[in-house]
């Protein structure tokens, strides 16, 4: 809207008085909410816009919204990564449990292997002992025969 199409007031006080009078009317669809000094005509006007924003303010708001959006995106990403970390911790814990069970089985297996080796060694020693016992038994019978021969003579 051009300046000549708007109400124009020579100073801020006159514009505020006009604002008060207009706001008393009840048949308007849009009411003015503030006054401002025009950069073009240097007079005062009324506006229904809550506030006037310079290009710099608008750019600041746009940048602020972008930063808030980026922060929200990063917070969501951090939250997702925290969930992933928890899942990985849980998975690691589960794997450690499996590893412990495997190690336990491995230890049992190695004990069985050791036991099997010990059993084999004991079998060998038993065979040796049986051989010795047979040798001693044979020697005993040989000596017994010799004694009988001596006694019979």
What percent of the residues of the chain are helix, what percent strand, and what percent coil, each to the nearest 5? 75, 5, 20
pLDDT of residue 109: 67
Residue 153 pLDDT level (bands cut at 50, 70, 90): low
What is the per-residue pLDDT across 47-74, written as a single tens digit (0 to 9) for each? 888 776 667 767 777 777 777 777 777 8
What is the per-residue pLDDT across 17-28, written as a single tens digit (0 to 9) for each? 998 888 887 677
Rg (CA), the chain: 53
What's the rounded Cα separation, in Å, for the pair 66 and 36?
29
pTM above 0.95, yes or no: no
Domain ranges in the chain are 3-52, 53-153
Q: How many residues does the chain have?
A: 153
pLDDT at 1 over 70: no
Residue 44 pLDDT level (bands cut at 50, 70, 90): very high
What is the per-residue pLDDT across 104-143, written as a single tens digit (0 to 9) for each? 777 666 666 666 777 777 778 888 888 888 888 888 877 8
């Amino acid at each position: 809207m051009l300046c000549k199409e708007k109400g124009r007031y020579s100073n801020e006080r006159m514009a505020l008085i006009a604002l008060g009078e207009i706001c008393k009317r009840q048949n308007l669809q849009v009411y003015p909410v503030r006054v401002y000094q025009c950069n073009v005509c240097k007079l005062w006007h009324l506006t229904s816009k809550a506030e006037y924003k310079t290009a710099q303010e608008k750019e600041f708001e746009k940048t602020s919204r972008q930063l808030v959006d980026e922060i929200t995106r990063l917070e969501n990403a951090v939250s997702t990564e925290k969930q992933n970390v928890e899942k990985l911790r849980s998975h690691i814990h589960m794997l450690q449990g499996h590893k412990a069970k495997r190690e336990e089985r491995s230890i049992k297996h190695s004990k069985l292997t050791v036991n099997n080796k010990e059993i084999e060694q004991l079998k060998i020693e038993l065979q040796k002992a049986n051989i010795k016992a047979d040798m001693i038994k044979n020697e005993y019978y040989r000596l017994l025969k010799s004694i009988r021969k001596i006694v019979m003579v």
